[in-house]
Structure 1
Amino acid sequence: MIGFKQIINICVWSSFAALYACQGTGTKSQPPATDSIPADTGNKMVLIPGGSFQMGGDDSTGQPDEYPKHLVQVDTFWMDEHEVTNAEFAAFVAATKYITTAERPISKEELMQQLPAGSPEPDSSMLQPGSLVFTPPDHAVDLQDVSQWWAFVPGASWQHPEGPGSNITGREQYPVIHISWHDAQAYASWAGKRLPTEAEWEYAARGGLSNQLYPWGDEPLTTGKAKANTWNGNFPWRNTKTDGFYDTAPVKSYAPNGYQLYDMSGNVWEWCADWYDANYYQEGNKQTKNPAGPAHGFDPADPGTPKHVIRGGSFMCSDEYCRGYRVSARMKTTPESGLSNLGFRCVKDK
């Protein structure tokens, strides 16, 4: 039988293992077949005026993949003012009968392809539908060992965020979670929208500011009134809830940025359309106008597993663990991933 730590080793990229984690490999969900694409009216869209900006790390504290800072131009586009909510995703599922990645059985064949040659076949219990759930300990732990706060929970999904005994009643206006890249793409297609490019996401997150660390500027996250839903205290075992929430928060709980976009920092990570390549910013032939990212994914810490970009940080980010709430921070995970702190928002061409 393959144990949980082996599953974690498959799913977590090694170089910065404390920062990134993903769900077990599963069958890819396909966008639903629909005769017509209905308009999504549950999430107000904000017009983001096109322009140029310096994309990349704003100081010397970022990760290597945030450099060099470089000039990028994007056209005008529309963006959801907040992350897609449980209520909005429920409307999509009701209309299409869509089944998310986390609700489908994990493929033994795909899982075995990820394991070293000669590995024993996984026990059938490890192939049940489910997702990785944040399960914090009650004491300090080694921050390099993500198995201390992540657990694969059979039955966990967007409808049952903590597992079969949980539901989203009363959380209709919270961001939908346990959503894979394939799920987000399916929703966006149904809504007549798309996922943002990484460049569009960072441009929008900056809210019209230049070379500032956060959507609100350079003021430290912990100064003054709560600015975003992040981890307060000692990660992962003690959260003082200084910002008002232990885990996810209802959308629009904090002040918007200059473009009137909410939660561009913290709450949940957000999927982007782009493949992730650690060296993309360094490539001399990269696009500078409306860049759509690299043609293929490449993570040097896990070169055999292509990943997509995720942006914005989550309620689990803190200065001592993960500073993903900076506007230039780049993260990544596999397109099948679904987590307690991963959601999305959509954009649309003008």
Structure 2
Amino acid sequence: MSDECCMPGRGASPPDDVGARTGHTVDRRHCHAIDQRPIAGGTFVMGDAHGDGLRADGELPLHTVEVSGFVIDETTVTTNDFAVFVDATGYRTSAERAGTSAVFGALVADDSTVVGRAPTAPWWVEMRGADWAHPEGPASDTATRVDHPVVHVSFVDAQAYCEWAGRSLPSEAQWEYAARGGLHGARFPWGDELVDVSGARRCAIYAPEVWGAAFPAEQGTGVGVVPTTSVRSFAPNGFGLWQTVGNVWEWCADRYDPRYYRHSPRLDPTGPDRGASRVLRGGSYLCDDSYCSRYRVSARSHNTIESSSGNTGFRTVARSS
């Protein structure tokens, strides 16, 4: 297990028309139209109660946190939601400006678009022409993914969307409190077991039967696979939030420090004052117990603010009125 299971990144370039970018007709009837859930706030024990995480990730010590009330998106921001933002503002993402972004190598058959590989995680490739509208490179689009989470968005991109929508990224404490759905100390939003009584997984993480191989799968194994799922797949947690673990990593507002929990304030912590990277939560479709078990509600990861990848998205919050 290491941070490379979680991301790397940068991004790609666009046609000017948003419809051409996404391969579907943009629904312009709304700005931020994601259904909301009011969270009354309360007290919870934050961190890894089971000892599942890596010490270096900083999931310990357990500490009590009080969270004030807030309102949070039921789902991550979708491809269509992000397309509305781009259409309204002409915004170009970090990936588009850089010209490349990180893609899981199993989705790539053609080496001609690969410009590099992560040295410690070669299944991540830096791919020319990959961006939010072309998740697997220039030949791909999001025509069948209008209700899937937007990916290849950096922290900077998520912040830009929030500014346009009058929203914020959640603090790490808000995110974990909401993701737990009222269950204290549980591994997952639904309890401690990954599978249900029938043996079916309850979230979108790495599935060898989908990719045709145990993690990490060889390049090209998953060509044609749509790795994300609809934002309303599986079941919501006790607060009515969908897929707070699995599917895509979610940006939080906090800077990352693995030692922060040692001195985190009790009331509405917002992370350290300094740090080059920002917190990511929730894991993604590339989490697998053989390598990365960060699809737990206490699990933490991080990346630099301009980094993007094919398994990173976000949801937003607002203060309760």
TM-score, structure 2 normalization: 0.83
What do the CA deviations read for 1:240-274 (whole angstroms, capped 9, x no partner)? xxxxx861111111100000000101000000000
The answer to whether the aligner puts 1:288 opposite 2:253 as a matched pair is no
- Residue 221 (structure 1) shift: 3.6
CA shift, 1:45, in A, is 0.7
Deviation at 1:42, TM superposition (A): 2.2
CA distance in 1, matches of 2:97, 2:4: 27
- Cα distance, 1:237 vs structure 2: 1.2
Aligned match for 1:330, one of 273, 277, 300: 300
**Are the aligned partners of 1:158 and 1:176 in contact in 2 as well (CA < 8 Å)?**
yes
Aligned to 1:254: 234
Preserved CA contact (<8 Å) 2:11 2:102: no
Shift of 1:82: 0.4
* Alignment of structure 1 residues 25-64 onto 2, 5 Å: 40-64=31-55
5 Å matches for 1:155-174?
Answer: 155-174=129-148
- For residues 22 and 312 of structure 1, what CA distance do their matches in structure 2 show? 16
The gaps in structure 2 that reach 5 residues or longer are 13-28, 109-117, 209-213, 219-224
On the 8 A contact 2:145/2:230 being kept in 1, the answer is yes
Secondary structure of the equivalent of 2:178? helix
Alignment correspondent of 1:236: 216
Query: Relative contact order: is structure 1 or structure 2 higher (C-alpha 8 Å, sep ≥ 6)?
Result: 2
Q: Deviations over 1:42-93 (max 9, x none)?
A: 2101111110000001112212210000000001100000010000000000
Q: Cα deviations across residues 19-38 of structure 1 (Å, max 9, x unaligned)?
A: 34321599xxxxxxxxxxx9
CA distance in 1, matches of 2:129, 2:265: 42
| Structure 1 unaligned spans of 5+ | 1-14, 27-37, 106-128, 139-143, 239-244, 298-305
Q: Structure 1 stretch 229-238 or stretch 314-323: which is displaced more?
A: 229-238
Is 1:136 paired with 2:114? no
Which has the greater radius of gyration? 1
Q: Distance in 1 between matches of 2:30 and 2:165?
A: 5
Match of 2:185 among 208, 211, 227: 211
For 2:201, the aligned partner's letter is: A
Distance 1:24 1:339 in 2: 7
Matched residue of 2:5: which SS?
A: coil
Contact persistence 2:8–2:303 (CA under 8 A): yes
Give, as a single letter, the amino acid of the residue that structure 2 aligns with 1:44. Answer: D
Q: Distance in 2 between matches of 1:62 and 1:156?
A: 31
What is the Cα deviation at residue 226 of structure 1? Answer: 3.0
Instruction: State the one-letter code of the partner of 1:153.
Output: M
Q: How far apart, in 2, do the equivalents of 1:221 and 1:83 lie? A: 23
Aligned residues of 2:11 and 2:129 also touching (Cα < 8 A): no
- C-alpha offsets along residues 159-218 of structure 1, whole Å, 9 cap, x if unaligned? 111111111112111100000001000101111110000000000000001111100011
The alignment status of 1:313 with 2:273, answered yes or no, reads no
Q: Aligned-pair distance for 1:148?
A: 2.5
Q: What is aligned with 1:274? A: 254
Aligned-CA RMSD value: 2.2
> What is the CA–CA distance in structure 1 between the aligned matches of 2:88 and 2:162, rounded to whole Å?
13
Which residues of 2 match residues 27-106 of structure 1 at below 5 A? 40-64=31-55, 65-105=58-98
In the alignment, the residues of structure 2 paired with residue 181 and residue 207 of structure 1 have an alpha-carbon distance, to the nearest angstrom, of 25
Partners in 2 of 1:278 and 1:261 — Cα distance? 27
Please state whether the residue corresponding to 1:309 is helix, strand or coil.
Answer: strand
Take 1:39 and 1:146, find their aligned partners in 2: how far apart are those partners? 42
- Of the candidates 174, 177, 185, which is equivalent to residue 159 of structure 2? 185
Give the residue type in structure 2 aligned to 1:289.
Answer: L
What SS class does the counterpart of residue 177 from structure 2 fall into?
helix
Q: 1:59 to 1:332 in 2, by over 3 A?
A: same
